[in-house]
Amino acid sequence: MKALIINCSPVRTGATAEIVKIIADELRSRYDTKCICIDDYEFSFCRGCRACHKTASCVMSDAQVIRDVMNEFDNADIIVSVAPSYWADIPGQFKSFIDRVTPWCNTHEPHAAIKPGKKGYAVALRTGPNMPECERLIGSIEHFYGHLEIECSGHLGLTSIEYKEQVGPRRQEIIDFCGNI
């Protein structure tokens, strides 16, 4: 079985990346694991033309980039999205990706689709102590999963983490979460 772990942050070396690394290390013994960072992909914002609602594919010139990422989703059995809070929501880069995935969403017919039977997990982190903000990010990720027909199977909210050095003391909490994946 394969696991895809997504760093939904534009920062490749920060706290989010550190959490991705811990999750990948924990899952490697049970899954063929691949990590990606949303910022490794260059794509434009969705223009809202809705052509994909009729054709199940994007007409924008950079649509292949989105197809490449969706191939990673298609190849995975388990998907773990790890997102930091940017002004109480997911980072703009990840939101732009979600917008561009509309051709795969079950909100219209026809639509493209990934293979069924996938399980999705969400991890949210934020700098302050307010867990409802993490829950908002988790809600965004799980809403996205729902439209891809990925089963929401678990989530973790981590507060009071701004820098990767603050992840270490929470390592066991992350490892325990991985035990349920």
pLDDT per residue as tens digits for the range 49-64: 999 999 999 999 999 9
Q: CA-to-CA distance for 58 and 105, rounded, in angstroms?
A: 12
CATH (domain of 123): 3.40.50.360
Per-residue model confidence (pLDDT) at position 134: 97
- Sign, CA dihedral 155-7-15-83, equals negative
Q: pTM score, two decimals? A: 0.96
pLDDT computed for residue 43 by the predictor = 95
Query: For residue 152, what pLDDT is reported?
Result: 98
Domain count, the chain: 1
Domain span at 66:
2-178
pLDDT, position 172: 98
Average pLDDT score over residue span 160-164: 96
- Average pLDDT of the chain is 96
- 8 Å CB contact between 172 and 160: no
How much of the chain exceeds pLDDT 90, in percent? 98
CA 76 to chain centre: 13
Mean pLDDT of 73-94: 97
pLDDT at 41: 95
